[in-house]
Amino acid sequence: GFCASDMGLGESSGPTALYGMVFDAGSSHTSLFVYQWDSDKENDTGVVSQTLSCDVQGQGISSYANNPPEAGNSLRVCLDKALQVIPVEKQRDVPAYLGATAGMRLLRYSQPPPQVLAEVAKTMQEYPVAFKGAQILTGEEEGAYGWITINYLLDSFTKVGEGWNTHSFATNIFGALDLGGASTQITFMPESSVLRQNEASELTLYGYSYKIYAHSYLCYGQDEMLKRLAKELIVESSPSTRVHHPCYPKGYKETMSLSSFRASPCTDGSDPRLPLGDSTITLEGSGTASACLAALRRLFNSSACGQGQDCALDGGYQPPLRGQFIAFSAFYYNFKFLNLTEGQPLAVVREAIEGLCTRSWKDNPKRLPKYCANANYILTLLLDAYKFNETSWNNICFQMKAGGADVGWTLGYMLNLTNMVPAEAPARVKGLRSSLWAAAITFIILNLVLGLAALLLQLWV
Ligand SMILES: *[C@@H]1O[C@H](CO)[C@@H](O)[C@H](O)[C@H]1NC(C)=O
Ligand SMILES: *[C@@H]1O[C@H](CO)[C@@H](O)[C@H](O)[C@H]1NC(C)=O
Ligand SMILES: *[C@@H]1O[C@H](CO)[C@@H](O)[C@H](O)[C@H]1NC(C)=O
Ligand SMILES: *[C@@H]1O[C@H](CO)[C@@H](O)[C@H](O)[C@H]1NC(C)=O
Ligand SMILES: *[C@@H]1O[C@H](CO)[C@@H](O)[C@H](O)[C@H]1NC(C)=O
């Protein structure tokens, strides 16, 4: 496959090392990443390495809407761990950020607005680091920062200059596919002629300008999608309180209360089709991949596109796919669970997913129950919504790490906010540097050979 190899990066822990930290506050959980780089190289690409990743115990910060101080407290264990890996004399200079994504975007609809962000900021300010803010990213920012992370780690930005033309350009720059609990993002560089102005973000990095398409779909993350699916199945079998679920394995049961649908704007608790009251519904698995796929497809509003080409989810605009893509976060975890070797064609993947749906969930009670649904969902999302086909499927690489760092939006976010992805081309571009070296060495060797030849010739005479 084309999957980029994971070239580990050199750590710099000497006196010139700088550090930064970013909390990724997702809808289902929070993680902290500590990054490290050499101050001499801050304007190069691919020089930042990941020193620590720490998973915060418990749910995402949006789940603390009713008890905001606990959201702040939940971060402490990871903050303490971070301070253990950063030299004491450097801690005061460490820029520290918290970025929240779709879980918090959904909370914007609640009244009164919860104080969760204020509380996490308060906690971070108690630590001896340079706190720079806790904010909610827009979906488009989340997509763009993921795209920056990937291309920075894979060193694409400096390869661009080596053969600038429309064709080689697309093959050097990777697109980004991200799937979280509450939203999903697609970001890539389409042919510029097809990119509509209001859908384009223009970024200038290392002397080149990139027009990218970045789109985020709220409520299409895998957890919200599962809730929406359950709601549709319940509505379809109303007023029965026992409901067949084609995406859960045979024999697996899950109970849900109708009130749980009222908790998320994604499942629209005021939907008149939803049975009234607060009864408990039992979902009973029937484990049929084909019925599962069909039920998931019904959640996409295919009529919204009409006959329109270049149309994505819910009638949104999406230019034709272009180039290779890195699929990370939940795309990666679900795909990884199939235990396939890299670069399998779509038919093999489909078969593996069908097999997953008929397995006994007791083989792996922690994970198997949800993986038939999740795996079919990523298939539906990639094929029906994002419009990958049998051929372009081979342009997707499912990858979690690159250059020793986790792939996600956090690194791109930090690089941007600390001005480490400059607009200008760096004075010393790596490619140029190496070709100058090569020329110099060739010159020296040639001279040595000539000198030796002259010497031999003199001895001969
Ligand atoms: C990085 O770029 C900025 C702005 O162009 C410049 O001020 C700074 O000195 C550069 N740093 C290094 C280490 O080259
Ligand atoms: C699907 O999209 C059409 C056209 O945009 C809209 O009228 C309709 O309400 C949508 N249906 C659903 C279920 O969202
Ligand atoms: C697959 O999609 C690409 C565009 O992404 C298109 O050029 C190609 O013709 C499609 N192939 C098939 C078999 O439909
Ligand atoms: C893949 O391998 C892991 C670890 O060996 C195992 O837990 C999991 O059940 C496997 N997945 C499938 C679909 O068999
Ligand atoms: C990065 O930061 C600059 C300001 O320094 C901003 O103009 C730009 O839009 C940011 N990039 C992204 C992807 O948001």
In tens, the pLDDT along 205-255 reads: 888 888 899 999 999 999 999 999 999 999 999 889 999 999 999 999 999
Confidence grade of residue 287 (pLDDT, cut at 50, 70, 90): very high
Cis peptide before 369 (omega within 30 of 0): no
Residue for token pair 């270049």: 310
Q: Is 222 labeled as ligand-binding?
A: no
Closest CA to 172 of 184, 185, 187, 189: 189
- Residue 233 sits in a domain whose CATH number is 3.30.420.150
Looking at the CA of residue 356, tell me the nearest atom of ligand 4: 13
Q: How confident is the model at residue 425 (pLDDT cuts 50, 70, 90)?
A: confident
Q: Which of 81-85, 176-180, 368-372 has the least mean pLDDT?
A: 368-372
Distances (CA, A) of 184 to 17, 330, 377: 34, 9, 12
3-state secondary structure at position 84: helix
pLDDT, residue 429, reads: 47
Q: What is the pLDDT of residues 97-154, one digit of tens each?
A: 999 999 999 998 777 777 999 999 999 999 999 999 999 999 999 999 999 999 999 8
What pLDDT was estimated at residue 264? 82
Residues in Cβ contact with 129 at an 8 Å cutoff, skipping those fewer than 6 apart: 21, 82, 83, 91, 92, 94, 95, 96
Calpha distance 208→118 (Å, rounded)? 38
Nearest residue by C-alpha to atom 13 in ligand 5:
144
The token pair at 263 is 């908790």
Rounded to a whole number of angstroms, the distance between the first and last alpha carbons of the chain is 59
Q: Give residue 26's domain range.
A: 17-143+406-417
284 and 248 in a single domain? The answer is: yes
pLDDT by residue (tens digit) across 311-326?
777 777 889 999 999 9
Which residue from 382, 390, 391 has its CB within 8 A of the most atoms of ligand 3, so it is best to mutate?
391
Check if 428 has its Cβ closer than 6 Å to any atom of ligand 1. Answer: no
Domain boundary among 373, 399, 425: 399
Q: Are residues 128 and 188 in the same domain?
A: no
Residue 91's pLDDT band (boundaries 50, 70, 90)?
very high
Q: Compute the half-sphere exposure of residue 201: CA atoms within 13 Å on the CB side of its CA.
A: 18
Do 203 and 136 reside in the same domain of the chain? no
Name the DSSP letter for residue 174. Answer: P
- Is residue 315 in contact with ligand 2, taking CB distance under 6 Å? yes
- Residue 184, annotated as binding a ligand: yes
Q: Look at residue 109 and tell me if it is in a domain.
A: yes
What is the pLDDT at residue 458? 66
Q: To the nearest whole percent, how much of the chain has pLDDT over 70?
A: 85
- What is the average pLDDT value for the chain, to the nearest integer? 87
Q: What is the mean pLDDT of residues 375-404?
A: 93
Q: What is the pLDDT of residues 179-205, one digit of tens each?
A: 999 999 999 999 877 777 777 888 988
Do 54 and 133 share a structural domain? Answer: yes
Q: Among 160-164, 194-198, 297-301, name the one with the lowest average pLDDT.
A: 160-164
User: DSSP labels for 54-81?
Assistant: EEPSSS-GGGGTT-HHHHHHTTHHHHHH
Distance from the CA of 315 to the center of ligand 2, in angstroms?
A: 9
Residues 32-49 pLDDT 10s: 999 999 988 877 777 899
Instruction: Please tell me which of 20-34, 154-168, 379-393 the model is most confident about, judged by mean pLDDT.
Output: 20-34
pLDDT at 435 over 50: no
Mutation test residue for ligand 2: of 218, 301, 313, the one with most atoms within 8 Å of CB: 301
In a domain, 156, yes or no: no
Q: Look at the chain and report how many structural domains it folds into.
A: 2
**What is the Å distance from ligand 1's center to 39 Cα?**
10
257 in ligand 2 pocket by Cβ < 6 Å? no
- Residue 138 domain flag: yes
Q: Is residue 449 part of a domain?
A: no
Do 79 and 213 share a domain, yes or no? no
The pLDDT of residue 282 is above 80:
yes
Least confident of 158-167, 359-368, 381-390, 430-439: 430-439
Q: For 311, which DSSP code?
A: B
Instruction: Classify residue 283: in a domain, yes or no.
Output: yes
Are 101 and 228 in a shared domain? no
Q: Rounded distance, CA 114 to CA 123, Å?
A: 16
Q: Kindly tell me the burial class for residue 414, based on how many C-beta atoms sit within 10 Å of its own C-beta (0-12, 13-18, 19 or more).
A: buried
Q: Which of 335, 337, 354 to mutate to test the pocket of ligand 4 (most atoms within 8 A of CB)?
A: 337
Question: 56 in a domain, yes or no?
Answer: yes
The model's pLDDT over 329-375, given as tens digits with 9 standing for 90+, comes to 999 999 999 999 888 999 999 999 999 999 988 889 888 999 999 99
In this prediction, residues 249-278 reach a mean pLDDT of 87
192 and 132 in one domain? no
Active-site positions?
Answer: 142
CATH number, domain at 116? 3.30.420.40
